[in-house]
């Protein structure tokens, strides 16, 4: 299945409507008076200025994102923010409509997520794809050369080859457990998983074991190095990692 068109972060977004943080959310230092999104009071949920997004293809790929930002965006339940996201991500949502040809548009599923509305039972996979759109907007997609155009069996193939070299690491765990935010589980693709900032180093340690030098399958070497590069980039940028597969 094709990937969603990449989004360039827009510095000319509409001015804020003055939405307030809910009482259960942490206090964030106020931004200046000319915000780039309708969230003038919330530094953590400003979209990341990632420049030109890395190319993404069908398969698995990683997004570096602060999960606290994603959770806060979903907790705000602010109508002006939801309207801005639907407008800003219009090409992505239109592409979802073209992919799935559902009667209810993807923009409505996005609004469900952002406004805390009851979730639809039909075509629940669209919630997962809307989460993917939000992660791309508030995060930065990373290149997935080692994981594109692949079937699910590639996770097992890489896991087994790494195990034969003496390292236990289940690559399917990257897409299990959800995106790290309270969203309805999709009834189909995309599969989603996450690694928090606190756990990045433990994963890096496993995937940096000297035993991995024994692997002579270059496709597997590329796949392992790809995941290592995601972990390193997230650690460097002090973000969490969210992975998708579809």
Q: Which residue has the higher pLDDT, 53 or 87?
A: 87
- Token code pair at residue 159: 């896991």
Q: DSSP strand E in the chain: where?
A: 60-65, 140-141, 191-195, 240-245
For residue 211, pLDDT beyond 90: yes
pLDDT (average), residues 20-36: 28
Please tell me the distance from the alpha carbon of residue 179 to that of residue 212, in angstroms, as a whole number.
28
pLDDT computed for residue 149 by the predictor: 76
pLDDT tens digits along 134-172: 999 999 999 888 888 777 889 999 999 999 999 999 999
Q: Which residue has the higher pLDDT, 234 or 10?
A: 234
pLDDT computed for residue 44 by the predictor: 40
Q: Are 150 and 85 in contact (CB under 8 A)?
A: no
Please tell me the distance from the alpha carbon of residue 14 to that of residue 111, in angstroms, as a whole number.
18
pLDDT computed for residue 58 by the predictor: 63
pLDDT (average), residues 24-38: 30
Q: Which residue has the higher pLDDT, 149 or 81?
A: 81
Residue by residue, DSSP assigns 198-218 as GGHHHHHHHHT-GGGGG---H
pLDDT computed for residue 99 by the predictor: 85
Closest C-alpha among 60, 53, 4 to residue 193? 60
pLDDT (average), residues 199-216: 95
Q: Are 228 and 207 in contact (CB under 8 A)?
A: yes
> Confidence class of residue 21 from pLDDT cuts 50, 70 and 90?
very low
For residue 6, pLDDT beyond 50: no
Mean pLDDT of the chain: 79
Looking at residue 233, the DSSP 8-state letter turns out to be H
What are φ and ψ of residue 134, in 5° steps? Answer: -65, -40
Closest C-alpha among 163, 151, 2, 174 to residue 91? 2
Whole-number percent of the chain with pLDDT over 70? 76
Q: Which residue has the higher pLDDT, 232 or 186?
A: 232
Place of tokens 């190095």: 225
pLDDT computed for residue 218 by the predictor: 95
pLDDT tens digits along 144-154: 888 887 778 89
Closest C-alpha among 142, 131, 106, 138 to residue 193? 131
Neighbouring-strand partners of residue 187: none
Tell me the whole-structure pTM to 2 decimals: 0.77
Please tell me the distance from the alpha carbon of residue 153 to that of residue 158, in angstroms, as a whole number.
9
Whole-number percent of the chain with pLDDT over 90? 61
The b/e string for 59-82 (b: 16+ C-beta within 10 A; e otherwise) is bbbbbbbbbbbbbbbbbbebebbb
For residue 126, pLDDT beyond 50: yes
Q: Which of 96-100, 120-124, 185-189, 207-211 has the lowest mean pLDDT?
A: 185-189
């Amino acid at each position: 299945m094709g990937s969603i068109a990449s989004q360039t972060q827009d510095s000319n977004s509409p001015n804020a409507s003055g939405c307030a943080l809910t009482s259960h959310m942490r206090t964030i230092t106020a931004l200046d008076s000319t915000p780039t999104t309708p969230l003038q009071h919330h530094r953590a949920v400003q979209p990341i200025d990632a420049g030109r997004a890395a190319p993404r293809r069908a398969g698995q790929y990683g997004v570096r994102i602060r999960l606290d930002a994603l959770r806060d965006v979903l907790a705000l339940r602010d109508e002006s923010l939801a309207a801005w996201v639907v407008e800003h991500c219009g090409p992505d949502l239109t592409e979802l409509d073209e992919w799935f040809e559902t009667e209810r548009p993807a923009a409505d599923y996005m609004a469900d997520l952002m406004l805390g509305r009851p979730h639809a039972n039909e075509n629940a996979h669209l919630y997962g794809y809307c989460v993917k759109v939000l992660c791309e907007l508030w995060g930065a997609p990373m290149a997935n050369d080692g994981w594109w155009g692949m079937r699910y069996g590639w996770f097992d193939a890489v896991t087994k080859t790494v195990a034969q070299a003496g390292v236990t690491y289940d690559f399917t765990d990257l897409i299990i457990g959800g995106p790290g935010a309270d969203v309805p589980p999709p009834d189909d693709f995309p599969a989603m998983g996450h690694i928090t900032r606190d756990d990045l180093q433990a994963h890096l340690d496993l995937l940096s074991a000297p035993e991995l030098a024994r692997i002579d399958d270059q496709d597997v070497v590329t796949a392992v190095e790809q995941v290592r590069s995601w972990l390193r980039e997230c650690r460097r940028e002090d973000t969490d990692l969210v992975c998708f597969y579809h």
